[in-house]
Amino acid sequence: MQRWQLSQKELARYGVVQNTIEGHLNVDLAAEELCLSRRQVFRLKRKLEEKGIEGLIHGNRGRASPRRIPDPVRDTINYLYQGKYDGFNISHFTEMLAEREGIFISRETVRGILLEKGSYKKKKKYPKHRSWREPMPKEGMM
């Protein structure tokens, strides 16, 4: 049995459904409180009775997205950025990946991969060169 960290929403949902099972709350009130239909409350009750608290946790919890870029491709991008394309900015690097390496990924995705791997650091924003001065009381004065 795995241990799960419940969110506030899931804890509240558990409390309401448990009260419905124990008879302290009817299904209509539970549906209104959870902003669900009666049918969904019956479905949650059945899941809680069958699987326990794990039945209320979303089924995709802990899984990677099916759209996630595979780890070998991520490692290749990181390797190329540290070696062959060292010193390139993210936009230029993304263009080179598409042109020369045949890896077609958006600039923002490349940036996220490099930040995750620690290869790319956020650039420091410097203050503006010009500073504001108090205007003189009369027009034409310097």
Q: Is the pLDDT of residue 1 over 60?
A: no
Arithmetic mean of pLDDT, 28-46? 93
Q: How far apart are CA 103 and CA 88, in angstroms?
A: 16
> b/e map of 1-25 (b: 16 or more CB within 10 Å)?
eeeeeeeeebeebbebbeebeeeeb
Q: Is the pLDDT of residue 126 over 90?
A: no
Residue 76 CB partners (closer than 8 Å, separation 6+): 101, 103
The model's pLDDT over 76-124, given as tens digits with 9 standing for 90+, comes to: 999 999 999 888 899 999 999 999 999 999 999 999 999 998 888 777 8
Q: How far apart are CA 116 and CA 17, in angstroms?
A: 39
The model's pLDDT over 53-64, given as tens digits with 9 standing for 90+, comes to: 888 888 888 888
Q: How far apart are CA 118 and CA 110, in angstroms?
A: 12
Q: How far apart are CA 14 and CA 90, in angstroms?
A: 45
Q: Is the pLDDT of residue 52 over 90?
A: no
**Model pLDDT, residue 2:** 65
| pTM summary value | 0.59
